[in-house]
Structure 1
Amino acid sequence: MESQGKPDIRQQVEASRGALKKLQLLIPGLRGYRQKEDIRVSDELLRNQVADRLDRAKANLNLLRKQMVSNNDLTNLGGLASLISQVQALSGEIRHAAQGYSGFVAPIQVTEDALNRLYDSDVTFVSTVFQFESSTAPSALTYNPTAPSSIQPAVSQLTAQVRDIREKWATRIEGMEDILLKK
């Protein structure tokens, strides 16, 4: 998942393997453990990066909220406050999602095809979050105090984007569960 000059998370995880981790890959009984642990680590990296993007989007929305308050626009605050709350909740849900345990004797195998489907799905998920963050940037989301209701369509569109992100997150969770197959 190469985006904006950043290396694929899988490559970051592989590059961070020390001698012990590389040895674990050579020992048959530990190979599966190491591979599952690497999946868990790359999942955590991805989730933290996505949550960071959502936190930046929330900060952008808070700037808009401050503009509304300074212009005594209390009419639009309810919808914006709800959106900010949804973004904050989604960020926390993604950042703190339960991680699988990759025990030494866990009877689980990860198929490469299933893992690649998950990574392809992640590209769509992450792209949607990046687009949402861009949509909340001050340059993209302008508030006109002389026409305060003009912000309502943008807030509605952003709310729809959050729903879409939440749906993609749910699909991702299902995908994570699907890559774990009982032997």
Structure 2
Amino acid sequence: MSGNNPDLRDKVDQSRGFFKKLQLVVPALKEYRKLEDIRAADELLRKQVFDKLDESKSKLETLRKAMSDKGDFTSLTSIGAIISQVQQISGEVFHSQQGSAGISPNIRIDEGTLNKLYEYDYNFVNSAEQISSTVSGSLTEYTSGTSTAQAIAAKIGPMLDDFKHTWKQRLESVENILVTK
């Protein structure tokens, strides 16, 4: 884990209240509490990814407005398509499957599996930050006249494709987690 993005599992563990600490003492609830805390950390991570993607979408909408203000209507469709992709991906991230610990789950998911899912999602924070940074830089380049909207779409499109591909692998991993033998 990088220094920029702390491991949220530790933060969730440190913020346990009395009742949650008590659950860790009761043998029947100990594992449930640990699994729920990993899920809570994973949810916080996915919220960060969603926020970064939403920030990127907002900046792309600013770019689209700048294009319109300049009378540059030739690439509005390609930037609109990029905005749609970001919106779709952010929705998938926000509403994604995260595995269920539950007191008596239908399908048992162990701590190692939830930690694997957390690690997957942790990497998405960095990817979302890279997309956001690229979008910010592209907006600056466009408004200063050093880049075109088509060049920007050509730069951001592959990043989104990579993100979607990796996200699909995560979903397949979750589906494999849910298969019992």
TM > 0.5 fold call: yes
Distance 1:146 1:17 in 2: 51
Distance 1:24 1:177 in 2: 29
Q: Deviations over 1:129-158 (max 9, x none)?
A: 11111001146652168788x331221120
Secondary structure, counterpart of 2:142 in structure 1: coil
> Cα RMSD (Å) of the superposition?
2.6
Distance 2:33 2:41 in 1: 12
Secondary structure, counterpart of 2:91 in structure 1: helix
1:101 corresponds to: 100
2:152 corresponds to: 154
Secondary structure, counterpart of 2:141 in structure 1: coil
Post-superposition shift, 1:120?
A: 4.0
Q: Once structures 1 and 2 are overlaid, which stretch shifts more, 117-126 or 31-40?
A: 117-126
1:125 corresponds to: 124
8 Å contact from structure 1 (residues 21, 34) kept in 2 = yes
8 Å contact from structure 1 (residues 90, 166) kept in 2 = yes
2:6 corresponds to: 7
Secondary structure, counterpart of 1:74 in structure 2: coil
2:79 corresponds to: 80
| 1:141-180 aligned within 5 A | 141-143=140-142, 150-178=148-176
8 Å contact from structure 1 (residues 13, 41) kept in 2 = yes
Secondary structure, counterpart of 1:104 in structure 2: coil
Secondary structure, counterpart of 2:73 in structure 1: coil
Letter in 2 for 1:58: K
2:110 corresponds to: 110
8 Å contact from structure 1 (residues 109, 182) kept in 2 = no
8 Å contact from structure 2 (residues 101, 109) kept in 1 = no
| TM-score normalised according to structure 2 size | 0.84
**Identity over aligned residues, as a percent?**
40
Distance 2:51 2:11 in 1: 18
Letter in 2 for 1:108: R
Instruction: Tell me: CA distance 1:78–1:38, structure 2 relative to 1, closer, same or farther (3 Å).
Output: same
| TM-score normalised according to structure 1 size | 0.84
Q: Deviations over 1:114-139 (max 9, x none)?
A: 45544443343222111111001146
Structure 1 residue runs of 5 or longer lacking an equivalent are none
8 Å contact from structure 1 (residues 143, 151) kept in 2 = yes
8 Å contact from structure 1 (residues 60, 138) kept in 2 = no
